[in-house]
Structure 1
Amino acid sequence: MRLDLDGVTVEAAGARLVDDVRLTVPDGAFVGLVGPNGSGKSTLLRCVYRALRPDAGAVLLDGDDVHAMPPRAVARVLAALPQESSAEFDFTVTEVVAMGRLPHRDRTARSDREICARAMTATGVAHLADRGFLSLSGGEKQRVLIARALAQQPKVLVLDEPTNHLDIAHQLEVLSLVRASGLGVLAALHDLNLAAAHCDLLHVIAGGRIVATGAPHDVLRPELLAEVFGVHAHPLRHPVTGAVQLLFDLLPTAL
């Protein structure tokens, strides 16, 4: 399933938070959004998963405007992991993951259990099945929420900083799992090295606008990173994968 953002614009209090953003996530591609804090990444993703309606433009799934589609129809094909998720009640991990099955009318108790079990095993949370969600660490909660998104069996995943709270091993495991899922993925990532290692395509966003698009090795150039992030980047190649990796220094300050 193809996801298109066609001229998405968001304004608030007279400020343009997202400005005429156009991008495509082809079926099965892992597309990353990178940019400094406050650049508009989360606002843009909120438009995609219907938490926010854009002031102009459209978000399209195979040509259909998500904001004109019934919520259940969207939930059957698009799953989202927002940057911040809260729970008021202490559901068990099994119950939280099972919420991902709610959009599917054709489900059965047995199929739901099997799908949820596979998602929990894949994300390494099966041993937490009977634990209360509120008792978990931040990293454990994040992996449970990713399991819930996978249990939804979407065609498109929208992830806002999915590696928040995860240790390095689980960061690599989760992104490798997402990449191997075959789903179309649009993810905001703050770690440029993780983005370079896992994304097929990167969009750099600054001031609400996309300022660069391309393969990671084409986009993560020192001059662009200096302009957008205010850092001096030293690109290297990963000795095993060949992916571009970056070392950083602060830019020298003028005397």
Structure 2
Amino acid sequence: MRVDLDAVTVETGGVRLVEEVTLGASTGQLVGLVGPNGSGKSTLLRCMYRALRPTAGAVRVGGEDVVALSARENARRVAALPQQSVTAFDFTVAEVVAMGRMPHQRPTARATEEDRGVCADALERVSAAHLSGRGFLTLSGGERQRVLIARALAQRPRVLVLDEPTNHLDIAQQLELLALVRDSGPTVLTALHDLNLAALHCDLLHVMDGGRVVASGAPYDVLTGALLAEVFGVRAHRVRHPVTGAVQLLFDRLPFVQSAENRGAP
């Protein structure tokens, strides 16, 4: 399902967090948002799953403004994994994943065989089936992240919104997770800190800085040395991945420029 953000602006407390962002994601694409901390990535994603309402502009999923959809219909279209997911009660892993089926059930209905099958499949896909009977609060950070991804997959969304989904995962799990969501079917919008992971897995990147999109395009076209120096304040050396051919980056600090008053100091 196609996603379009049209001139989205978000203000809170008199501060403009996102300013006139326009971008799109075609059906089935994996689209990444990258940028330094505070650039507006999470704020923009929160508008996608209605945790925030834009001050101006619109978010459209399948051509319809998400604000105009009922909560149930929006949950059938969009599943989200926020950066901070809090579960106050120690539900079992199976119970947490089953929550993903709620948009597809009547309020008083019990889980069906189909629901149970969807949940079991979601846990299997994230290699967490063995955790089914465990209490969620007893899990490690990486285990919790995989369970929350399973809950989102059990929701069977048309659009998947992920805010730093590789947090707490080791490198093998990071690679597996991004390959999984890429092949899962929905259109995926994700914020990522790791630029090399973004370059490997994303079809399209939008670079954010100061609440605006400052560059958009294929990873190789976007992740240039000049842009990375300007936005991230680092020097980047671009290389090709020996297997995939994707652009990969080696970083070091920008050369230190000595201030004028210290140039004559011993």
TM-score, with length taken from structure 1: 0.98
Deviations 1:2-21 (A, max 9, x none): 11100100012222100000
**Residue identity matched to 1:23:** L
| Residue matched to 1:31 | 31
1:223 match: 226
2: CA distance, partners of 1:251 / 1:181: 39
Once residues 59 and 23 of structure 1 are traced to their aligned partners in structure 2, the CA distance between those partners, rounded to angstroms, is 10
Name the counterpart of 1:64: 64
Q: Name the aligned partner's letter for residue 121 of structure 1.
A: E
Amino acid across the alignment from 1:201:
L
Q: Is residue 18 from structure 1 mapped to residue 24 from structure 2 by the alignment?
A: no
**Structure 2 gap ranges (5+):** 259-266
Question: Structure 1: which amino acid aligns with 2:116?
Answer: R
| Structure 1 segment 89-128 matched on structure 2, within 5 A | 89-105=89-105, 108-128=111-131
AA matched with 2:163:
D
In the alignment, structure 1 residue 236 sits paired with structure 2 residue 239 = yes
Structure 1 gap ranges (5+) = none
- Does 1:245 find its partner at 2:248? yes
1:102 match: secondary structure: helix
Partner Cα distance (2:256, 2:163) in 1: 32
- Report the counterpart of residue 214 of structure 1 in structure 2: 217
| SS of residue matched to 1:187 | strand
Q: What is the match of residue 49 of structure 2?
A: 49
Give the aligned residue type for 1:61.
Answer: V
| Distance in 2 between residues matched to 1:105 and 1:97, nearest whole Å | 14
State the match for 1:6 in structure 2.
6
Aligned residue type for 2:208: I
**Whose radius of gyration is greater, 1 or 2?**
2
Q: Aligned partners of 2:105, 2:148: CA distance in 1, in Å? A: 21
Indicate whether 1:81 and 2:81 are aligned.
yes
Q: CA deviation at 1:77?
A: 1.1
Give me the whole-angstrom Cα distance separating, in 2, the residues matched to 1:62 and 1:239.
37
Once structures 1 and 2 are overlaid, which stretch shifts more, 101-110 or 76-85?
101-110
Question: Over the residues paired in the alignment, what is the CA RMSD in angstroms?
Answer: 1.0
1:122-153: CA deviation from partner (whole Å, max 9, x where unpaired):
00110000000000000000000000000000
Between the two proteins, what is the percent identity of the paired residues? 69
Q: Name the SS for the 1:76 alignment partner.
A: helix
> Number of residue pairs matched?
255
- The letter for the 2-side match of 1:247 is L
1:130 aligns with 2:157: no
Distance 1:223 1:15 in 2: 29
